[in-house]
């Protein structure tokens, strides 16, 4: 059966546009996954649910214009067919499901994924043998404020032969915390899952909540949510471009982009009441409208950005030292990116031209027609170029959204849906697609909430990006991906 055949068997799911779901048996689970993989389908997320009498495992796959959600019941004590050979990123998701929900599969990698307690248990890293090979352990504790993660390099001299990551040090039991909250309050926790993606996570959560409640938010609220999401994208790209200059020894870049980011944050506060947009998105819309003074503040900031960012791009591209560090470093060719399932910004830099704002747009993106940005070299230079392109495109979108806001309210009413209602939210945040699967419990409670960060797919890609590079280039390559620890270790 083709992917079109599986989609024809499926039924529509509330929440994000274009999502369909079908319950399958064990043989069909594997057959559908093989069919989708053969036709270029991408794994968006895999998770388990043990809140029912019979546990289930779910997997969401993206086709070119739709998402197919497979659900497979798994009897307690049985195992389901693993998908790690079809989608390499599935292995870590399957290991997490085995550890958190005791829903196990045939994946031969049975190593624990999470670190429980203050003393990390022994972990069997894959060893590389050969003359002159030695290991460099880095972390899990790092300098600065980043969360913990362990990196085990196998090297000859300074050349990296293999990198293996171990994350899971900050498991916070977030999914259990969701189950103790009400549906109408869960968006606040969603916004705090990963601080740099507050708008992306809260919108995905609210998209699911409003979908299962059959609520259409006012058009003005939809535009203001998109405006907030694009401001979050701009802020992160400005921060990353400065850090990528600094990591290559160009402190001038850090200074200039930090200055521009501060201007943006001040404009955001004047326009929306917040420097960082926690709790700006609320059930039914947004917490505050945009007035003429806010429009003026954003307009002045955008004028500065669209004037200065192209000049800084010229400096970056003409600087021989930066070119020497960026070009060819940490390259992930398109074929490898497709095989590994690279997604979001990092995927688009390696020829994976997918962006939900274009491919499966939720309101109001179809009206404003975002331009999809991409590259094919897949190196640090490409990931820097994507940030420049997307930053300027987001400036265009913010200007259009702010000046073409439809009249009307910026918030509607949302009533808790009936128990057992389910929906999926899916938003293209700055790092990539964020998925939130939500199931309602009795009396407006949350029975199950599973948030998924695109870093699940891209951490394994980073392991391949460093191969054949030198150890001192790892901080730069790592920063060019800028993956989430917090969004990953929930």
Confidence of residue 7 (pLDDT cuts 50, 70, 90): confident
> Other C-beta atoms within 10 Å of 51: how many?
13
CA distances from 481 to 205, 455, 461 (A): 25, 9, 9
Report pTM.
0.96
Output the six-digit token pair for 425.
């939210």
Positive or negative, the CA dihedral 94, 100, 105, 111 is positive
Q: Topology of domain 216-413, per CATH?
A: Cytochrome-c3 Hydrogenase; chain B (1.10.645)
Longest Cα pair distance anywhere in the chain, in angstroms? 71
Distance in angstroms (rounded) separating the CA atoms of residues 99 and 78: 15
Distance in angstroms (rounded) separating the CA atoms of residues 380 and 466: 11
Identify the weakest region by mean pLDDT among 36-40, 107-111, 140-144, 409-413. Answer: 140-144
Distance in angstroms (rounded) separating the CA atoms of residues 377 and 387: 14
pLDDT, tens digit, 9 for 90 and up, residues 444-485: 999 999 999 999 999 999 999 999 999 999 999 999 999 998
Residues in the chain: 490
Distance in angstroms (rounded) separating the CA atoms of residues 357 and 451: 19
Nearest alpha-carbon partner for 161 in 126, 204, 187, 199: 126
CB 51 within 8 A of CB 448: yes
Output the six-digit token pair for 233.
């994208």
CB 340 within 8 A of CB 461: yes
The domain spans of the chain are 8-105, 135-170+453-490, 216-413
Output the six-digit token pair for 243.
């850090």
Mean pLDDT of the chain: 94
Please determine, for residue 61, whether its predicted confidence score (pLDDT) is greater than 70.
Answer: yes
Please determine, for residue 119, whether its predicted confidence score (pLDDT) is greater than 80.
Answer: no
Nearest alpha-carbon partner for 469 in 159, 188, 66, 73: 159
Show the CA angle centred on residue 206, arms to residues 203 and 207, nearest 5°: 80
pLDDT, tens digit, 9 for 90 and up, residues 190-243: 999 999 999 999 999 999 999 999 999 999 999 999 999 999 999 999 999 999
pLDDT, tens digit, 9 for 90 and up, residues 356-394: 999 999 999 999 999 999 999 999 999 999 999 999 999
Q: Average pLDDT, stretch 270-292?
A: 97
Confidence of residue 118 (pLDDT cuts 50, 70, 90): low
CA distances from 443 to 181, 415, 417, 420, 446 (A): 11, 11, 9, 11, 9
Show the CA angle centred on residue 446, arms to residues 444 and 448, nearest 5°: 150
Q: pLDDT at position 16, please?
A: 95
pLDDT, tens digit, 9 for 90 and up, residues 311-346: 999 999 999 999 999 999 999 999 999 999 999 999
Distance in angstroms (rounded) separating the CA atoms of residues 21 and 435: 15
Distance in angstroms (rounded) separating the CA atoms of residues 394 and 405: 16
């Amino acid at each position: 059966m083709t992917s079109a055949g599986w989609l024809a068997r499926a039924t529509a799911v509330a929440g994000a546009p274009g999502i369909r779901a079908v319950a399958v048996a064990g043989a069909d689970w594997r057959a559908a996954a093989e069919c989708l993989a053969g036709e270029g389908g991408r794994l968006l997320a895999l998770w388990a649910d043990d809140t029912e009498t019979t546990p289930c495992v779910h997997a969401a796959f993206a086709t070119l214009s739709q998402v197919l959600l497979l659900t497979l019941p798994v009897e307690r004590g049985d195992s389901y067919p693993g998908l790690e050979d079809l989608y390499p990123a599935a292995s870590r998701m399957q290991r997490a499901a085995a550890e958190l929900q005791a829903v196990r599969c045939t994946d031969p990698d049975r190593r624990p994924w999470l670190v429980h307690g203050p003393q990390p248990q022994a972990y069997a890293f894959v060893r590389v043998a050969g003359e002159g090979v030695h290991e460099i352990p880095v972390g899990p504790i790092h300098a600065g404020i980043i969360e913990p993660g362990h990196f085990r390099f196998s090297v000859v001299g300074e050349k990296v032969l293999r990198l293996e990551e171990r994350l899971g040090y900050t498991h916070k039991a977030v999914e259990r915390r969701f189950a103790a909250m009400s549906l109408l309050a869960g968006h606040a926790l969603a916004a705090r899952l990963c601080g740099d993606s507050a708008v992306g996570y809260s919108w995905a959560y609210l998209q699911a909540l409003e979908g299962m409640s059959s609520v259409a938010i006012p058009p003005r609220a939809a535009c203001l949510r998109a405006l907030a999401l694009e401001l979050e994208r701009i802020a992160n790209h400005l921060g990353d471009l400065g850090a990528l200059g600094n990591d290559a020894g160009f402190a001038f870049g850090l200074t200039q982009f930090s200055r521009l980011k501060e201007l943006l944050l001040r404009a955001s506060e004047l326009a929306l009441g917040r420097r960082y947009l926690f709790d700006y998105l609320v059930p039914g819309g947004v917490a505050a409208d945009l007035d003429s003074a806010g429009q003026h503040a954003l307009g002045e900031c955008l004028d500065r950005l669209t004037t200065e960012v192209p000049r800084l791009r010229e400096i970056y591209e003409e600087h021989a030292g930066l070119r020497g560090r960026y070009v060819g470093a940490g390259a992930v060719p398109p074929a490898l990116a497709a095989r590994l399932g690279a997604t979001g910004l990092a995927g688009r830099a390696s020829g994976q031209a997918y962006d939900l704002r274009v491919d499966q747009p939720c309101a109001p993106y179809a009206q404003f027609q975002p331009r999809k940005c991409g590259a094919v070299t897949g190196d640090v230079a490409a990931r820097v170029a994507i940030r420049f392109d997307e930053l300027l495109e987001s400036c265009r979108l913010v200007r259009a959204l702010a000046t073409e806001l439809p009249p009307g309210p910026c918030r509607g009413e949302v009533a808790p849906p009936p128990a057992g209602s389910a929906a999926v939210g899916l938003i293209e945040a700055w790092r990539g697609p964020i998925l939130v699967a939500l199931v309602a419990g009795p009396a407006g409670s949350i029975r199950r909430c599973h948030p998924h960060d695109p870093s699940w797919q891209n951490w394994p890609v980073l392991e391949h990006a460093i191969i054949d590079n030198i150890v001192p280039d790892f901080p730069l390559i790592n920063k060019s991906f800028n993956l989430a620890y917090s969004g990953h270790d929930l």
